[in-house]
């Protein structure tokens, strides 16, 4: 589904303004802080792929994007690239959605495979089309999506990586057996996922990555979250370094957005 959101820190505005005013009174020579332009974000969780036809999907996708652009004013288009192990682009590192299926007559899959025959994919098509309209494009990484409730090879949202490594699944303190999120405490999990992110940053002209920690906010065992939080902090730092060291910059010369 598509959604439009604009981040507004209304509750924090008053104290921030007050503190800035107090600083200026005490230090009249201090310069005003640089103004930051807020982003208005349009989020597409690959809905356009779900709706696109199996035959010649590219014109449909472009028309879909044009329609949304005309209907809603926004600055940034966020496209779901990975969940994080299942990818909605032509990945060489991760696993493409529906890769285990032998037939193509399925939602998402039909359009994805048709685009591959045209030597492109949704991430590249969306990025090129929206940037031509002056929009910033971010590739969304769902850090721990668990729409699947068990490791099931017949579920397209369950990665082969998880099926091959059930020992990587978070061991929750209540002993539940329906957990499928992988534990970021494990180096192999972090390494696998950052390779997918690096592939996106290196091979696609996106303006950056959006790390979505809300889907589903399960990164460590529940009783170890505070203890293990520094692991995630260091991981985000590692992602930042990876992006900076990729040698790529956004078209406007600024570094890639995280």
For 141-158, the DSSP string reads: EETT----SS--TT-TTS
Does residue 209 register a pLDDT over 90?
A: yes
Please say if the pLDDT value at position 41 is more than 60: yes
Q: What is the dihedral of CA 189, 210, 197, 1, to 10 degrees?
A: 90
Distance CA 209, CA 65 (A): 20
Q: Fold for 2-245, please state it.
A: TIM Barrel (3.20.20)
Kindly state the average pLDDT of the residues 111-127: 98
- pLDDT computed for residue 30 by the predictor: 57
pLDDT band at 181 (very low <50, low <70, confident <90, very high): very high
pLDDT, average across residues 134-147: 98
Q: What is the per-residue pLDDT for 15?
A: 27
Tokens of 79: 């496209």
Q: Could you give the 3-state DSSP secondary structure of residue 58?
A: helix
Comparing 150 with 8, which gets the higher pLDDT? 150
pLDDT, residue 145, reads 98
Confidence at 85, pLDDT banded by 50, 70, 90: very high
Mean pLDDT of 43-65: 98
Tally of CB atoms within 10 A around 239:
20
Q: pLDDT over 70 for what percent of the chain? A: 88
How confident is residue 113, by pLDDT bands cut at 50, 70 and 90?
A: very high
Mean pLDDT of 76-105: 98
State mean pLDDT over 158-185. Answer: 98
Residue 10 confidence (pLDDT) above 70:
no
Q: Encode 204-231: b = buried (16+ Cβ within 10 Å), e = exposed.
A: bebbbbbbbeebeebbbbeebeeeeeeb
Please give the model's pTM, rounded to 2 decimal places: 0.86
| Residues of the chain above pLDDT 90, percent | 83
The mean pLDDT of the chain is 90
194: Cα separation from own chain's centroid: 12
Q: Is the pLDDT of residue 8 over 70?
A: no
């Amino acid at each position: 589904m598509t959604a439009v959101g604009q981040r507004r820190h209304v509750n924090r505005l008053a104290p921030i303004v007050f503190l800035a005013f107090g600083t200026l009174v005490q230090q009249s020579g201090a310069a005003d802080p640089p103004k930051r332009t807020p982003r208005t974000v349009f989020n597409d969780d690959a809905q356009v792929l779900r709706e696109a036809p199996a035959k010649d999907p590219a014109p449909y996708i472009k028309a879909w994007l044009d329609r949304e652009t005309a209907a809603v004013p926004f600055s940034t288009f966020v496209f779901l690239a990975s969940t994080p192990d299942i990818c909605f682009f032509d990945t060489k590192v991760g696993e493409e959605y529906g890769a285990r299926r032998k037939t193509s007559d399925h939602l998402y899959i039909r359009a994805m495979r048709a685009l591959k025959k045209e030597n492109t994919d949704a991430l590249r098509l969306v990025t090129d089309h929206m940037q031509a309209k002056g929009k910033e494009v971010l590739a969304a990484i769902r850090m721990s999506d668990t729409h699947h409730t068990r490791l099931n090879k017949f579920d397209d949202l369950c990665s082969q990586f998880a099926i091959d490594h059930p020992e990587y699944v978070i061991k929750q303190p209540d002993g539940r057996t329906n957990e499928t999120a992988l534990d970021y405490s494990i180096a192999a999990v972090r390494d696998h996922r950052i390779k997918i992110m690096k592939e996106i940053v290196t091979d696609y002209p996106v303006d950056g990555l959006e790390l979505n920690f809300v889907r589903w906010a399960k990164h460590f065992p529940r009783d170890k979250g505070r203890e293990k939080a520094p692991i995630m902090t260091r991981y985000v730092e590692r992602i930042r370094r990876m992006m900076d060291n990729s040698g790529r910059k956004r078209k406007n010369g600024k570094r890639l957005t995280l």
